[in-house]
Amino acid sequence: MNHEYELMVLARSDLNEETRYQLIDQIKKVIEAGKGEIVSASDWGKRELAYEIKKNTHGFYTLITFCANSRLPSILNSKLKLMEELLRFLVVRREGKNSTRKHAALLG
């Protein structure tokens, strides 16, 4: 059964535009090789970090939404750990619309 996931990627700020796009393409290929389907990808641009990470005060954020089976996120995590251009990344499973409403109701 396929689920929808979000992947937030934080890349080093010293990367040029071409290198960043190659990095994102490489990540997309890993998802597609694992039989995942890219739903959307949005570049959030360069932003200041709340604290220094690996001597970087800024980073480039990219959000990728994809559908895949439950095994792909762990495979993706192991591949992303090897990419030196990344400062941080996080893969989370998106909840359904009803779950989002329930959480909003609990928050008031």
CATH of the domain at 100: 3.30.70.60
Q: How confident is the model at residue 1 (pLDDT cuts 50, 70, 90)?
A: confident
Domain that holds residue 23: 3-107
Q: How confident is the model at residue 101 (pLDDT cuts 50, 70, 90)?
A: very low
**What is 7-51 written as a DSSP string?**
EEEEEETT--HHHHHHHHHHHHHHHHHTT-EEEEEEEEEEEEEEE
For 73-97, write each residue's pLDDT tens digit.
999 999 999 999 999 999 999 987 5
d(CA 35, CA 55): 36
Q: What's the whole-number average pLDDT of the chain?
A: 88
Cross-strand pairs, 40: 65
Q: How confident is the model at residue 98 (pLDDT cuts 50, 70, 90)?
A: very low
Tokens 């990470």 belong to 53
Q: How many domains does the chain have?
A: 1
Collapsing DSSP to helix, strand or coil, 68 comes out as strand
- In this structure, what token pair is assigned to residue 99? 């779950």
Nearest to 80 by CA among 27, 17, 6, 20: 27
